[in-house]
Structure 1
Amino acid sequence: MSLRGGDPAEIGGYPLEARLGSGGMGTVFLARTSSGRSIAIKLIHQQFAGDDEFRIRFRQEVAAARRVSGAFTAAVVDAAPEADQPWMATTYIEGPTLAQRITDEGPLNGPELRRLAVGLAEALRDIHRVGVVHRDLKPSNVVLSAEGPRVIDFGISRAVDQQTLTMTGRVIGTPPFMSPEQLQAPRGVGPRSDVFSLGTLLVYATTGHGPFDADSPYITAYQVVHEEPSLGAVPDALRAVVEPCLDKDPERRPSVDELLVLLRDLPSDLGGTATGGPGAGRTRDMLTQHHLMTPDTPPPTTPAPATPAPSDSGSTGTAIGGRLRRRWRPVLAAAVAVAAIGGGVAVLTTGGADGIGDGTDSRGTDAGRSAAAPGGTLPDGFEPWRTTVPGGREDIPDELRCVARDDALFCGGGGVVATRVNPADGSRVWTAKSPGVPVQGMHLVGATDDTVIGYRIADQDAPQGPPQEVVALDADSGEELWSTPSGAQSTAVTGRSQDAVVAGSAVVTVDASNSRFEARDAHSGELAWSAPFPAGTQCAPVPAGPRLLATCATDAEVDDLEQRNPTLRTLALDSGELGRPVEVQGPAVPVGEADGSLVLLSPHYEGTARAGYDGVVRVDPASGKVTRSRFDQVYDGTPGMADGTVYVSGQTGRVTAFDPATGRKKWARQTGVEGASGPAAGDGAVYFSSATGRVVALSPDDGKALWTTDPQADGLTGQQNASPRVTVAGRALFVAADDNTLFAFDARKPPRSG
């Protein structure tokens, strides 16, 4: 791809010709030496230049790459690890990555597969002989050159005799291709960890999917550690070689030298599988690339196909009919970008006249948003605290999202329907667990004065019961009041995983058949009204200030998991009556509300791959007027809105603020928070936080950094499109991080960084 505005013209005296890709640590450019030789230059992102930990890591990468330069790797040409912005130049290896090759043409077979297997084993032999462990062998780090496969990117490699960096707050690697010991004790991995990764890579090359693939990186990691590999589609001759590589015990795996002996005896006519063809090679390496600080390669250019899922009845057989299978698709959201609408939970503020049933009092009109302390104050007896909330699936950690109300903090998600936490000290009052697999982006629905609403995901092994429910709990006791089956199509309709919203004293949901809206009294569960979707469409509720909107997509768009031309309608809170349709004309992701209009961002596509956002769209529900404004360039990252400003927080920590009325850029600021969630505002600042719990406070006026904290958890960096992790209650900040971690501190006395 061509150079972008802001890219340097040269690095280290080497003129740049093109941008090859960008990842969590740096950007890779194509350059040329004075003799005309093509080279690839990795330029470390500016925010890491002052990070001693990253400098040490980069020096190790340069040293490792220099040690292993040989026939099967990219030789180091030049490097400046001590430069103001460090960089390293290697020979440019022309050819597709293994990931690109399989995505475009399907799995390998025959002599091509045998050459790959032997070539990669020889590459590992040379790497290990100089005392280096690669630790990130995966399809996007293997280039298929005319001379054979080459292993690239030693960004997380280490010398065997060298202490590994702690890398506090970062889990680095790609779960489908990581060894069990790398997931459990990353500082102690040895050469046979690479052997395990090679085994997974060969299965992927042969079948188009990994031996531990699942619809969530958390489940994948669990299966790597605990489950047997799926090798049924691997040819018998290759399976006899791969199976010992995938032993959970490193000591029982072959060494690379032993592996080479086995591989050289392979027949040249290794059979392939019937899963070939373009797109067949989409595995979790593709789906998780925005969640992990790994690839310095361009994103995939074709969408990932949905994997088969359990039937609605809970049996293990093949589901009958596409509609039933798609009801399990929320699990796929763990690896799909999920946009939030102006906050971590979907809560609609309404006036008493718009309420349902008994209406709402002055506090009910602020459902789910009342701070546990008014602006500028702290909850009584508040002290900084940190806690972890156990969920129904403790083997698959995830994240929570919270809402503060009066003297309580309510949180949900990650195997937790909801929990009540004392905002002063973090002690738990009660917790209701969810037994199923956590779905990223599906957290707490919201809260009223006396009721908390959350999601319950069923255990897929359960013989009966709906796969997903909206559940109401008594705010004081945690007792379950009522539940109702919930739909599962909102990700395809709006880009979010939320299928329900709190509206005043009511809860609006999508029914289990994805055919109508239903409104219930939040506490009693009494059905107030039911409103069918317009014919041929499926819809999801979207709050827009004091109004509730129905965003609808055609059945064909939902089937394709691709929203192309959404239609918006007002949804009357007292009756469910739908207003006239307003066509947005082009895909758009809702991010919030400003001056009575719904604000959406317009995605930009390169081919079929989303490459960021190129403008803002405003829809006035009252008049039906649709207004579009273009950004000055394409901005990639997590969208969100706070206090009337649109923000896009990039994967590498750059935050850009926009005026929603004009699309004009207000300011841009580079931060050290990788993969930051959407924004949260309060107490004179706007806050961004990553899954590691690192928080940055910026001035909403000019983006000036007010303070930054250190990580609090071992979360995935580089994650995109997460809803806000910070809940603001006066001066108190409540922050959610990976592994159901919650912590709180005074915004005016943040934990010291470093």
Structure 2
Amino acid sequence: MSLRSGDPEEIGGYPLEARLGSGGMGTVFLGRTASGRPVAIKLIHQQFADDDEFRTRFRQEVAAARRVSGAFTAAVVDADPEGPHPWMATTYIEGPTLAQRIARRGPTGGAELRSLAIGLAEALRDIHRADVVHRDLKPSNVVLSAEGPRVIDFGISRAADQQTLTMTGRVIGTPPFMSPEQLQNPRGVGPSSDVFSLGTLLVYAATGQGPFDADSPYMTAYQVVHEPPALDLVPPALRAAVEPCLTKDPAARPSVDELLVLLRDLPAELEVVAGGGRTRDVATEHHLRRDTGAGTGGASGSDGAGASAAPGPRRRRWRPALAAAAVIAVLATGVALLNAGSDGTSDEPDGKGRNVAATGEAALPGGFRPWRQDVPAGKAKIPEEVRCLPGGDSVYCGGGGVVATRVRASDGKRLWTAAGPGIPVQDMYLAGLATAGGHGDGKQPDATPGKNPRNPKNPDRTVIGYRIAAEGSGLPDEVVALDGERGKELWSAPFGAHSAAVAGPGAAEAVVTGSTVLTVDVTGTRAEGRDARSGRKLWTVPVPAGEQCAPVGAGGRAYLLCAPKAQVQAGEVRRVTVRGVDLGSGRPGRSFGLDGPVEPLGADRGRLVLARQRVGEIGVVEYDAVIRLDARGGKVATTKLPRTYGGVPRLVDGTVYFTEQSGRASAVDATSGKLRWARHTGVEGAAGPAAGPGALYFGSAGGKVAALAPRDGKRLWSTDPKVDGSAELRPIPRVTFVGRAAIVSGENNLLYAFDTAKPPKSG
């Protein structure tokens, strides 16, 4: 970020080159020493220079940073806390913050997670050995350098032998990462408080969500003080080390040295529990830019996340409403919880207390420039719409006459295209991407991708698509697997195509979960699980007699949604059953009966979310309830909506968006059923929204895109259409992302890309 008008040219004799970021308390600049070494210089805002309490706090920050300067922190190079405009210069650390890393690529796993855990524990050990308590360990204060994690920002730290400085009337910190004693008695905080914060940080790194997340900072604080942590998605080996850190009693927590012993015994490749995934709350760009990365370098390039990812679990239980209200009242009157850290940055861009990591801006693919192309339909000659999924440096698109095509995100170059076999084919779809790392024996696969010797930057990906044969052709419908690197067909297998009749228009005929492909066979009497790479049949299980079933995938889990055949054939589904499917054995779990018909929308907080349909007075499908099913816990919650909604439902981070043909979108809370907002997107025939950098993105068949703020639905900007398009609504979004680049699909096999920070001008 270049210097702005009014920025100083030098601070303390250090010439300035760029502005790295700005928070509530100060601005961070990139400067140079006389020898040319880069330094990060934190300049305190002038309005705080005459505040004696703040100046004392800044002196403590400088002193603490000097005491702990070492391999795991940003060393202090120079400082002037007594000057008329206080500043401090520290070593410039190249790399993204942990918040930025997870916002771009989702939760960490495998060796990366193990190294992060040990590195942070070692950093905390050195900080405590210097008799300093950090007191603000959070994702935006961890920089991921090439040499390992670095802990920065000692703005609210203290020496162990000093009295805690608490700014008048306020408890300072970030609720999701604060310890119970920090919330209740900040002057009694000691090293064990940092151990608690480290535990929350490692849960966040492994799952993308904190163990105490709730819908407001006050309720988050209540969870920290009173509720047990949510650790369902933490890898078991890591959980054994983290859980003792999250004990409410400070004396019962392990010391950092004891924690290091536990962490060093972790397996070299930590497993990732199915169900974890990317967990961003998107917010406006104003909020995204609030992570200053103080003392850090620029953000590194991003690697696209998988084909799809689901939110991690949030809190499950609440104390009685009276008790919660009492805690909120105490917090509101006794202290003001600061979501902002010591420099005013925030880990909660939506203001709701969740560690959503929507901080810092996503990076563009290397060498990116806006591009456009029309994907050839091949022999099938049925150009329609393609839909895309991100993977590494590319997007994989299918439909419109092609099984799949791989397109490089930076410049739009088609690296390969697997065209359809020609007539007779009715349609083609892209089901998903599978990554290597499965065991090949039917067991639940590891989520850690395998290395691709041909292209180390991209793991071995298998592209799963399917083609629907034209009626009367006598050909079977087939699921097709392609090598993601070169597009070579690996295998194909017939299946029965009946899902839409059971699970609604957005239902998939093939579901990709981990490295397993779930389908229903040609006869409709068996569910089949296949290894995505080899096509080897792992197991088959019978479909309940007299029922017709559709495969469903959500949150890293697989399900079968079934309805009585007679009701399906009559077009009057009144009752459905849902069963979880064990991917290792195919064994179905407990059966849950639901009033139907229903449409699966995805996963939220570890639960399958479905929208219940009803037929309106003029024969239009409407939705009157949201159902949340916890297959493992055996619980079903049905929330009747205060009114019916039409259009296409889509679940994005705990909110169901009903998008109508006219372009009007209604945002409904998936838990309470309450309407958050309703706005006209300005995009007719808009598909369901996609969550991307700083906004919700709605795309039309003609290629028009509108960006709306998730908080209130305010339209941020929109583009012009690219082609004439009038395709019907579908639940699959037409916009996907590789870093900050938006890749948009439309009618007639349109595909184009632009920088979301510089959208095409309308008009």
Q: Please, what TM-score do these two structures have when normalized by structure 1? A: 0.50
